Amino acid sequence: MKIGFIGLGHMGAPMAKNLAAAGHGVKGFDTVKVTVEGVETVATMADAVAGMEAIVTMLPNGDIVRRVHETLIDVAEPGRLVIDCSTIDVESARAVHALAEGNGLLSLDAPVSGGTGGAEAGTLTFMVGGSDAAFAKGRPLFEIMGQKAVHCGEAGAGQAAKICNNMILGISMIGVCEAFHLADRLGLDRQAMFDVASTSSGSCWSLNTYCPAPGIGPESPADRGYKPGFAAELMLKDLQLSQEAAEANGAVTKIGRQASDIYARFVEAGGRGQDFSAILEALSGSKG
């Protein structure tokens, strides 16, 4: 398949590389000049879209996704598939679906979970919104870039699933970090804390798989000086998206709001560029 890939950042570049390694012809475009193994980088967005059978986008926010779609619909041929893997607000996702489908294109919103490690290893999980026909056409590409793709429903459903999932993740990570912080103050050995909680009712992904305490559990960003993984500012973005959606739809998410506020303070206090699990270090250094 001929694939255009727009957005070759920390996530997009390895995703495009995996598509090329699987034998697809991939043309890539990014506003920053980059080189990606197996990918033909081109000078303009139009060059990455013209003649392509599928176009994949991985971009920072909803405004940019809207602007990119406004450009690509003038170049992409009717019947082509457009997959947006960015994490954006549900309203923007539905808007670009309508824009694409109004111009005869198949459209999917397909945000991902798994971080840069999952992008590199091809083990991402895709949460997908769009028609059955579009999902069927996109599935072979999801199987290359990830290990699982869940068709969550119609336009915007993928984004809805992503922000709900990451609200759980943000809340649970804060809970795990606070539990380790309390264990430290109580003089409880961190390994003992992990051995108990990871095999009992405290068990969760933030503890068992992505433990924020260095040297405890499977290797995680905590063991690499909290190099992301999943950056704290990206967690903050997702939590803010969840709260915007909650407010717009009358949902009560008080703990989600608190988690968003906690990450906002952490990022402002120097957490930007660190993994979101580094909030444990901020707690460990606190006196309150």
The residues annotated as belonging to the active site are 162
Distance set, CA 282 to CA 181, 185, 191 (Å): 10, 14, 20
Mind spelling out the 3-state secondary structure of the chain? CEEEEECCCCCHHHHHHHHHHCCCEEEEECCCCCCCCCCEECCCHHHHHCCCCEEEECCCCHHHHHHHHHHHCCCCCCCCEEEECCCCCHHHHHHHHHHHHHCCCEEEECCEECHHHHHHHCCEEEEEEECHHHHHHHHHHHHHHEEEEEEEECCCHHHHHHHHHHHHHHHHHHHHHHHHHHHHHCCCCHHHHHHHHCCCCCCCHHHHCCCCCCCCCCCCHHHHCCCCCCEHHHHHHHHHHHHHHHHHHCCCCHHHHHHHHHHHHHHHHHHCCCEHHHHHHHHHCCCC
Are the beta carbons of 58 and 6 closer than 8 angstroms? yes
**206 class by beta-carbon count within 10 Å (0-12 exposed, 13-18 middle, 19+ buried):** buried
